[in-house]
C-alpha cells in the first residue's frame, strides 16, 4: 500500500487516444490521479462530471487530473466525448498500475465477492511524492474535497470519505 510521503510509483499508460502518458510527463505539477471502476456507470460518471464542473478551479490550482480505469482507450474516448470531460482518461487494462497503487482489491456487490478497482484518489506533488490519499471515495462532492486538499498542500494526510457524504 502506498503511504503519504512516499514517491508515487511511475507508470506509462495509453490515454483515450492510445497515446502513452507517463507520470513523469507532469514533473513540476500537482497530479490528481483517480482510480475508478468503469466508464459510463452512474457513480463513475458523477465523479468524472464533478471534476468537469470544477474544471476552472482545477486549472487555477495548477493541477492535472488523470482518471484511470481498466476500460479500453476507445471506451474512454466515447466517455470523454459523451460527457465533455476535459482531462485525460488512462487505460490500465491489466490493472497493474492500480495494483501498485493499492487501488485494486476485494469488493462485494449483491453478496458476491470479486476483485476490482477500489475508488481511490492520490494527490502527487511536483516532485512525484504522494501528499494526500482519499480512500473509499464518495463521488458526489469529491472534486470539491480534492480542491480543498490542493489548497492545503502543507499538511499531507490520508483521507477517508466523510460518513456524512451522500453516495449517488
Rounded CA-CA distance 151/26 in Å is: 19
Whether 49 sits among the annotated catalytic residues: the reply is no
Question: Among 31, 32, 44, 48, which one carries the catalytic annotation?
Answer: 44
Task: Report the catalytic residues.
Answer: 44
Amino acid at each position: 500500500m502506498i503511504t503519504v510521503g512516499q514517491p508515487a510509483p511511475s507508470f506509462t499508460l495509453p490515454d483515450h487516444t492510445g497515446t502513452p502518458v507517463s507520470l513523469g510527463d507532469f514533473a513540476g505539477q500537482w497530479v490528481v490521479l483517480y482510480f475508478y471502476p468503469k466508464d459510463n456507470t452512474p457513480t463513475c460518471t458523477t465523479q468524472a462530471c464533478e471534476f468537469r464542473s470544477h474544471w476552472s478551479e482545477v486549472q487555477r490550482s495548477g493541477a492535472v487530473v488523470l482518471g484511470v480505469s481498466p476500460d479500453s482507450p476507445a471506451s474512454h474516448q466515447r466517455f470523454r466525448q459523451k460527457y465533455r470531460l476535459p482531462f485525460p482518461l488512462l487505460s490500465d487494462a491489466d490493472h497493474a498500475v492500480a495494483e501498485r497503487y493499492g487501488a485494486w482489491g476485494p469488493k462485494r456487490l449483491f453478496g458476491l465477492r470479486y476483485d476490482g478497482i477500489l475508488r481511490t484518489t492520490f494527490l502527487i506533488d511536483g516532485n512525484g511524492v504522494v501528499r494526500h490519499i482519499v480512500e473509499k471515495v464518495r463521488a458526489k462532492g469529491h472534486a470539491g474535497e480534492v480542491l480543498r486538499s490542493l489548497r492545503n498542500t502543507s499538511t499531507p494526510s490520508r483521507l477517508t470519505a466523510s460518513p456524512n457524504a451522500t453516495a449517488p
